[in-house]
Structure 1
Amino acid sequence: MNSDVQIAGDPLALPHLLPPVPAHPATVAGFAGLARSIAADRAAWAPLVRYDTTTRWYHRLRTVPQATVGYEVWLLSWVPGQGSGRHDHGASSGVLTVLEGELTEHTATGPRALAAGAQRVFAPGYVHEVVNDALAPAVSLHIYFPGLTDMPMHPSQAASSGGAAAPSEVLAP
């Protein structure tokens, strides 16, 4: 007896019947997935990493213009003791993924340890500080959508009234 594939043919063999693969993410989940796929390709990012004891090191991995989708992908390294300062990301949303080591994120609700594989997804206006409190270097990947154009600094949490932070979400590895 003939199977459906024998009668009609294999629908997967006809590319025009498949939905188009998006060239760029269009959702928060898509950006989180992009970060995970970049993180998984260690051979592509690991040779680029540098450690600088005088300043935080960073490298732009990808820029997609606003006319297309508008996002940037950054690779950052953190030696022990280095931090970002308390800041937000202006009108940009983002995904922070820890690639190696451990970072601590400080927010109005307190500190949170982020081990390798952990992700943070945040909305515009989300205020935090990221610090390497560990004894070993760390590497993180940051995706900002739209691309980062503003990073306002804020007074330290101890000096502020501890106002409410914008929503964020932790995604486990």
Structure 2
Amino acid sequence: MARVELYVSVDVEADGPIPGPYSMLSFGMAVCGTFDGAEFTGHDPSERTFYAELKPISDGFDPRALDVSGLDRERLAREGRDPAEAMRDASAWVKSVAGRALPVLVAYPLAYDWMWLYWYWMRFTSHSPFGHSRHLDIKSLYAAKAGAMVAQSTKRQMPAALLAARPHTHNALDDALEQAELFQNLFRWDG
């Protein structure tokens, strides 16, 4: 018998396009539901969350990326969490909320958020709580259910009923919560 999957919505804010030369500055995670292979059960995403702001790991940054997130690199250099500690704590949180369920990371768009988180987990802990492939792209899920081209699967082109009531603020936890609602609506949607 297959294990229940626990879906965790994630969002990342970074100061550039790729990890290594640039830094992940914050990330947020929110439990958004479970699926037993037959029934999806949504969870209030605000009930179980994780948020961390990190010390930068490099000197390079793109000022435009900082403008998007509104995060202050100088403050984070002083007050941000050590990346290794934050990634260990994030792994422990995922394990704790998953219990016996199999955790699956969901994001919009997955490629960006997954790239950062996986790189940081492997760099600082040598292990991802989602393995190397337990993730689901919300944008691709919409494209498949809607029979739409990926390029036409933006939030602006989705039916309003699918969109979250929460705003997209570019705070990583706020956006993880927003995406959790979108994922719940989309998972239940027949297309």
TM-score, normalized by length of structure 1? 0.27
Rg bigger for which structure? 1
Flag the structure with higher strand content.
1
Normalized per residue, which structure has more helix? 2
What TM-score, normalized to structure 2?
Answer: 0.25
Higher relative contact order (CA 8 A, sep 6+): 2
